[in-house]
A and B are shown apart, each in its own frame.
Chain A
């Protein structure tokens, strides 16, 4: 059974800092990995999706990397802003199970 772990559980940084969120998973036979953003009491916003054959994806100030062999992914946020404050979730899609498995998230607070 796939297990997805996110470290740290919470992170507080001053505005302007670059930061890295970590995600690890136990079953490397993933089809893809996705990073989501969740604001309090809201649904999920997809940020980046990395296919199993890819090493990284970039969107604006966000860069996600994937190392399947080691079961790890990172989400890099450059020049953080208070508007980036949210919970960030990573999720893996296993082709065999055809379902998403989510980590418990990292709650990010960017202080002005």
Chain B
């Protein structure tokens, strides 16, 4: 089955530093990936849609200069949280569309990254 990985699984950083999270599709090429954020006991909120070779599309209220997304290849998208602050602490999950699957709108989810900003 389609597998999506995320790295790191957990990261703790100091306020003001930048953190990069990687999302990889391991056994398929993903032209579209999605980045979600989840607060404790809350739902997943879509942050942005990442398309290979083009700029990401950000949801309303998400700062594009704060959350930099790069989708440089068909198997890798990165989310960089710039100048992180404690309020950026959250669980970040990526997903990828597998165009080769029977249902081209099925998203395959990564295991998530827990970011803690001190």
Contact = CB atoms under 8 A, between A and B. Distances in A.
Same complex: yes
Interface of A: 4, 31-32, 36, 41-44, 46, 49, 89, 91, 93, 98-105, 107
Given A99-B46, A102-B45, 8 more contacts: A32-B103, A44-B93, A46-B109, A99-B49, A101-B46, A103-B43, A104-B41, A107-B41
Contact of B43 (A98, A102, A107): A102
Contact of B105 (A4, A31, A102): A31
Interface residues of B, number: 21
A64 B92 CA distance: 27
B43 A100 contact: no
Contacts of B105: 31-32, 93, 98
Q: DSSP class of A's interface residues: helix, strand, loop or mixed?
A: strand
B34 A99 contact: yes
Interface in B71-118: 91, 93, 95, 103, 105-107, 109-112, 114
Nearest to B39: A104
